[in-house]
Amino acid sequence: MRKASTKTAQRSGNRMRAEYDFKGGTRGKHYCAMQAGYTITIRQSDGTTVVKEVEPRKDAVVLAPDVREYFPDSESVNSALRSLIKLIPEKRDPAAKRARRAETRRRTAARSGSRTTGTKT
C-alpha cells in the first residue's frame, strides 16, 4: 500500500507539514541579533568546514509588518517614496541647513549691532 502524498498540501498553498507546531513560537525572536550580523558554519561532505561572517547591509531598510502589507516589494516602496519626494520643496541637507542658520544669525547680529551703534552716539 502506498503512503499518502503531501502533494495535496502543497497544491493548496500550505507547504507546512501537519506535524509542525508553531503555537508556542515567538515571532521575531532573533530579529535584533540578526541585525547585528551572524556567522554561518558550513560542514562539507569531505570533512572541511567553511565559516562565513554575514554583515547586514548598511543601506538596508526594514519595513514594519503593518507597512509590509501595503508594500509587498521594493518597487512599490520606491514608487511611494518618489511621489513623496516630489512634495518636498528642496532636498534636505544637514550641512546646508546649518549654513542657513548661521547666515540668519549673522544677519540678525549685524542688524542689532547697527541699531546699538546708531543709538550710542
User: Domain-by-domain residue ranges, the chain?
Assistant: 60-90
Percent of the chain with pLDDT over 90: 19
CA pair distance 72, 40, nearest whole angstrom: 28
Q: Enter the C-alpha cell of residue 111.
A: 542688524
pLDDT of residue 18: 83
For residue 17, which of 36, 27, 4 has the smallest C-alpha distance? 4
pLDDT band at 114 (very low <50, low <70, confident <90, very high): low
| Mean pLDDT within 43-63 | 86
What letter would DSSP give residue 88?
A: S
CB–CB of 43/49 below 8 Å? yes
* pTM to 2 decimal places: 0.34
Helix (H) or strand (E) holding 75: helix 74-85
pLDDT band at 13 (very low <50, low <70, confident <90, very high): low
